[in-house]
Amino acid sequence: MKNAIPIILIIAGLFFGYEGYNRMQNTAQIKIGDLKIEAGANGGKESAYIFFGLGAVCLVAGLVMMNKRGK
């Protein structure tokens, strides 16, 4: 039970990173000859950066807590 919170933080960090990557790649394209139509949301990229940041914070916090409990 001691390592439950650090493990949950590490898993949450990985999830947030994965979700940020998916939001960054979320665009649709249609190409007809020389005409290229692309649909994407600028807000999606902004929220992707937020998810990347949350993922990094959770991952680092989980690793630090795991390291401190091991001592």
Q: For the chain, which residues make up each domain, given as ranges? A: 4-70
Rounded Cα distance between 20 and 52, Å, is 5
The model carries a pTM of 0.73
Question: What pLDDT was estimated at residue 41?
Answer: 64
Residue scoring higher pLDDT (53 or 68):
53
CA-wise closest residue to 23 among 58, 57, 53, 51? 51
Taking residues 52-64, report their average pLDDT. 95
For residue 1, pLDDT beyond 70: no
Give the best-scoring range by mean pLDDT among 8-12, 23-27, 33-37.
8-12
Question: What pLDDT was estimated at residue 53?
Answer: 95
